Amino acid sequence: MPSQLLAPLFGSPAMEAVWSDEAAVVAMVAFETALAAAQAEAGIVPPTAAAAIAATDPAALDVAALAEAAGVAGNTAIPLVKMLTALVTTADPDAAKWVHYGATSQDAMDTGLVLQLREAFKVIEADLARAMAAAATLARAHRDTPMAGRTWLQQALPITFGLKMAGTLDALMRHRDRLAEARPRILSLQFGGAAGTLASLGDKGPEVARLLAGRLNLSLPDTPWHGQRDRILEAASLMAGLVATSAKAARDVALMMQTEIGEVLEPAAPGRGGSSTMPHKRNPALSATILGAAGLAPQLLATIAAGGAGEHERFAGGWQSEWLALPELARLTGGVVAKLAELLEGLEVKPERMAANLAATRGLLMAEAVQMALAPDLGRLVAHDRIEAACRTAVAEGRDLIDVLAEDPQITAHAGRDRLAALLDPAHYLGAAGTFVDRVLARYAGIGRD
């Protein structure tokens, strides 16, 4: 994060390490080292020169001086290559002339970015696995725990808390699948030289590219992608999608934590979720942080999407905007997924409050269940009208719905009080909730056997 104060709040230590300035330098030097080795294997660069370049320690590069020089040069690769060349010169002057041979700045920066993305994906996958495991635990434990389902922020019909968590797990598993499927496309070598033809290497260009991709363990694209930014956009879209799914779960938790609802509580920890003035407060701090990041992610994604509409083979402006937007989006995503895992792992569930909220409407929540049960006898429209009228009376008079229904002879002709009581029991109107939970958990159980 640009701010050391906010990094622990919105980021994660593991993801911060991936996107540090030092990590960016290491990634670009890795490209330069692998390039020299690949060219040596192809018979272009003397093996001794490749060895001298490989012996250079990235930590010897002055990051502060590099940053200052980048402000003049227009990118970080140009001064990095100059500094790397100077270091190699001190050890082997003859080897220095082979540094960055046949490459362009964007080759080093884009491939370095891809190497950082590979590490970022590892961090995301580790925390995503934690979040999925926690969601699975909650879905399994609360498969049959009834709660009020809500539409338009109003109570609608009974669901189970297990179903809500299974929905989260279902989405997280789809993100996992998308990430696995996209990795070969995104983690691809960028090596095209000045205009994407590798003309500087003569007829050896394709061979060097193949060897370089192998050394870096990256996929080999059919063409260099200086001017085609869809790989970067796909990475950004994957991360923004993860943030959105995490934010949906966090918003539900925050709403369920409201004092009047009280169905769940975020994990407790010293100093977390309190107020600087109100000792009693237990605020949804983790959820708020996730939601705060979610407010930024769409704009960062839009920046990257807009940047892809560049000019010709290599362009100005859009590519540069990625340098800021993509690492920031990755940092936010890393922080969000780590915090979602923490949120779900320690979530306190209150089934008794869920039951109390189900009873809050004094039976109105179950009106559809009674209507559907009586429709075969009365007809759907008649049943709807009779139940609707009973609901209006119950609300106007502050009465339990069962008492009003028991006074309607059209209804009691087909359903006595005992049957009405059963129909008004939320546990008897959960539909296929349990089946849906079981399906998701079965798919999750198969992940370990992939």
- The one catalytic residue in 140, 314, 353, 399 is 314
What gap in Å lies between CA 35 and CA 54, rounded to an integer?
10
What secondary structure, in 3-state letters, does 352-392 show? HHHHHHHCCCCCHHHHHHHHHHHHHHHCHHHHHHHHHHHHH
Per-residue pLDDT tens digits for 108-124: 999 999 999 999 999 99
11 pLDDT band, cuts 50/70/90, is confident
Q: Which two tokens stand for residue 60?
A: 């010897």
394 pLDDT band, cuts 50/70/90, is very high
Asked if residue 275 has pLDDT above 80, the reply is: no
- The one catalytic residue in 174, 200, 272, 275 is 275
9 pLDDT band, cuts 50/70/90, is confident
Q: Summarize the confidence of residues 73-91 as an average pLDDT.
A: 92
What pTM does this model have? 0.92
Q: Helix or strand or coil: residue 150?
A: strand
Domain boundaries, the chain: 6-352, 361-428
Calculate what percentage of the chain has a pLDDT beyond 70: 96
What gap in Å lies between CA 381 and CA 143, rounded to an integer?
34
Tell me what the pLDDT averaged over the chain comes to. 92
Q: Are 24 and 109 in contact (CB under 8 A)?
A: no
Per-residue pLDDT tens digits for 401-413: 999 999 999 899 9
Q: Helix or strand or coil: residue 151?
A: strand
Q: Specify the pLDDT at position 23.
A: 94
- Which secondary-structure segment (H or E) carries 159? strand 154-160
| Catalytic annotation present for 314 | yes
Greatest Cα pair distance, the chain, in angstroms, is 103
Per-residue pLDDT tens digits for 288-306: 999 999 999 999 999 999 8
CATH assignment, 361-428: 1.10.40.30
Cα-trace Rg, the chain: 30
Per-residue pLDDT tens digits for 32-56: 999 999 999 999 999 999 999 999 9
Question: In whole angstroms, how far apart are CA 87 and each of 4, 45, 59?
Answer: 31, 18, 11
| Catalytic annotation present for 188 | no
Per-residue pLDDT tens digits for 167-196: 999 999 999 999 999 999 999 999 999 899
Q: Specify the pLDDT at position 79.
A: 93
What gap in Å lies between CA 384 and CA 371, rounded to an integer?
6
Range picked from 116-130, 269-283, 309-323 for highest mean pLDDT: 116-130
- Which secondary-structure segment (H or E) carries 147? strand 146-151
361-428 and 6-352 share a CATH fold: no
Q: Specify the pLDDT at position 3.
A: 72
CATH code 1.20.200.10 for 6-352: yes
